[in-house]
Amino acid sequence: MAIATINPTTGETLKTFEPLTDTDIETKLAQAQKAFEQYRKTEITQKSVWLQAAAEILERDKENLGKLITLEMGKPLKGAIAEIEKCASGCRYYAEHAAELLADVPVSTDASHSFIRYQPLGVILAVMPWNFPFWQVFRFAAPALMAGNVGILKHASNVPQCALAIEEVIHQAGFPPSVFQTLLVGSERVADLIADHRVKAATLTGSEAAGASLASSAGKQIKKTVLELGGSDPFIVMPSADLNAAVATAVTARMLNNGQSCIAAKRFIVVDEIADEFEKQLLEKFQSLKIGDPMLPDIDLGPLATPGILKDLDYQVQESVKHGAKLITGGQPLLDRPGNFYPPTILTDIPPGTPAEQEEFFGPVALLFRVADIDAAIIAANVTPFGLGASAWTTNEQERDRLISEIEAGAVFINGLVKSDPRLPFGGIKRSGYGRELSSQGIHEFVNVKTVWVK
């Protein structure tokens, strides 16, 4: 795949980049290792100053950086600007809390003095996706840099300008040269990067296939990995729910990022007695969404990021319909305009074994399932191989407790939109990956948890 900015709204190739050579990569790895040897000694108060400066730069430049996101991957500009603001918030969280999260933890033992100390590992490889091209990187970089690690970024090949802009923000903030570097390379380089002795661990957000490949390469080297992979998140609505609020949130949850979010609600599991009204309201709201140029302020839905994603999504829809699913709106690429546009789509009456029951749909397609009761809802929620997030809507306390306990997911949100928050750990189970980002768990993923015993 070429490393290039291809505007998904128009299909126009705006800028291409030559991948780094073997010599370039060797130079950058050597620089990263040398930088770590000094940076690991830097006081955490100084790191905090630099990370606060990064937050200020992000907020200052959020309009231009947001436009760059929209240009490269197509999300509506208002959402792109919000993404930059979230990056600033994440930086501030770790700038303010890392010292506490990384402080020695005293433990009473038979020693005169024993404690746990958190120390950096070294050079960490981040393999990041295009769908949140800034936030995915900063939620790795902020805790990793505060812990004293250095980062090398292999970003998705369709957001190279975002990748370079992130490196520039971190350098402008005052972090030493080579503490964070972008490597413009293809995915075929990842295994060699993992194998390099200077790279101590890796994190990846992306597809199951990409995660399995990276984990396999890292396993051969006995190196730590964190994987945040796909999701087919359930959105359960019980009869006791505030239906209007549930529908409004359902639309936001499915259309966020043009439907291209791992934690987007994708499978809407609704109890029979309210399913007709839920479907009616959802259809009305889907049909009222405005599709078009994501740079315009009143647009709700922009293009999918690449022609390949458009093709794959349409194939899943057509296969599901061919095997019995009912299409009630949308369902065909918008070929009357340039770009990778797919309309808001709803599938219902979905038979077992179809793509709509088991696979992740990465685009603006809602999959509607009707169930008899809470038991059937929980079974339907857990039927897929994924376990990232889940949203459940109820005002019944017993139902709430069951949904929290029995849904198989890394996060359960009751009466709210599933989202990442720097204060809470983020990650999945089953084929959605392992390990956690954000919160205290995130900053502890890439440290040596050292036991110290003194007598």
- Indicate whether 345 pLDDT > 90: yes
Same domain, 439 and 370: no
pLDDT digit string (tens) for 409-442? Answer: 999 999 999 999 999 999 999 999 999 999 999 9
Same domain, 313 and 212: no
How far apart CA 164 and CA 425 sit, in angstroms, is: 27
7 CB neighbour count, 10 Å cutoff: 19
Residue listed under structure tokens 């190739």? 13
Same domain, 364 and 403: yes
pLDDT at 41: 98
pLDDT digit string (tens) for 19-74? Answer: 999 999 999 999 999 999 999 999 999 999 999 999 999 999 999 999 999 999 99
pLDDT at 413: 98
pLDDT at 175: 98
Order the strands of the 265-271 sheet from edge to edge: 326-329, 345-348, 365-371, 265-271, 233-237, 389-393, 411-414
pLDDT-derived band at 329 (thresholds 50, 70, 90) equals very high
Q: Is residue 281 part of a domain?
A: yes
C-alpha angle with apex 146: 144 to 148, nearest 5 degrees? Answer: 75
pLDDT digit string (tens) for 236-270? Answer: 999 999 999 999 999 999 999 999 999 999 999 99
pLDDT at 183: 98
Same domain, 252 and 292: yes
Q: Is residue 395 part of a domain?
A: yes
Same domain, 398 and 449: no
pLDDT at 106: 98
pLDDT at 311: 98
Same domain, 225 and 250: no
Choosing from 262, 408, 437, 445, the catalytic residue is 262
342: tokens are: 């797919």
Q: Is residue 123 part of a domain?
A: yes
Please report the beta strands in 78-137, taking only residues with DSSP state E, as ranges in sequence order. 105-106, 113-120, 123-127
Q: What is the pTM of this model?
A: 0.97
pLDDT-derived band at 144 (thresholds 50, 70, 90) equals very high
Instruction: Give the contacts of 211 (CB within 8 A, at least 6 positions apart).
Output: 204, 227, 229, 433
Choosing from 83, 228, 399, 437, the catalytic residue is 228
pLDDT at 122: 98
In the chain, the number of structural domains is 2
CA distances (Å), origin 391, targets 354, 377, 388, 409, 432: 23, 12, 11, 10, 16
CATH code: domain of residue 416: 3.40.309.10
Same domain, 212 and 268: no
How far apart CA 432 and CA 223 sit, in angstroms, is: 20
Instruction: From 326, 376, 333, select the one nearest 350 (Cα to Cα).
Output: 326
How far apart CA 438 and CA 384 sit, in angstroms, is: 25
CATH code: domain of residue 438: 3.40.605.10
Q: Is residue 426 part of a domain?
A: no
Instruction: Give the contacts of 419 (CB within 8 A, at least 6 positions apart).
Output: 263, 413
pLDDT at 174: 98
Can you give the residue range of the structural domain that contains 30?
Answer: 3-229+432-454
pLDDT at 348: 98
Question: What share of the chain in percent tops pLDDT 70?
Answer: 100
Average pLDDT over every residue of 334-361: 95
Same domain, 284 and 400: yes
Same domain, 317 and 447: no
Q: Is residue 427 part of a domain?
A: no
The yes-or-no answer on residue 262 being catalytic is yes
Q: Is residue 257 part of a domain?
A: yes
1 CB neighbour count, 10 Å cutoff: 11
pLDDT at 451: 98
CA 299 to chain CA centroid, Å, is: 23
Same domain, 56 and 71: yes
Q: Is residue 161 part of a domain?
A: yes
pLDDT digit string (tens) for 146-168? Answer: 999 999 999 999 999 999 999 99
How far apart CA 25 and CA 198 sit, in angstroms, is: 12
Same domain, 285 and 136: no
- Indicate whether 1 pLDDT > 80: no
The yes-or-no answer on residue 228 being catalytic is yes
CA 146 to chain CA centroid, Å, is: 21
Instruction: From 198, 104, 45, 122, select the one nearest 450 (Cα to Cα).
Output: 104
Instruction: Give the contacts of 86 (CB within 8 A, at least 6 positions apart).
Output: 135
Same domain, 224 and 237: no
pLDDT-derived band at 110 (thresholds 50, 70, 90) equals very high
Q: Is residue 62 part of a domain?
A: yes
What's the count of helices (H) and strands (E) in the chain, helices before strands?
Answer: 15, 20
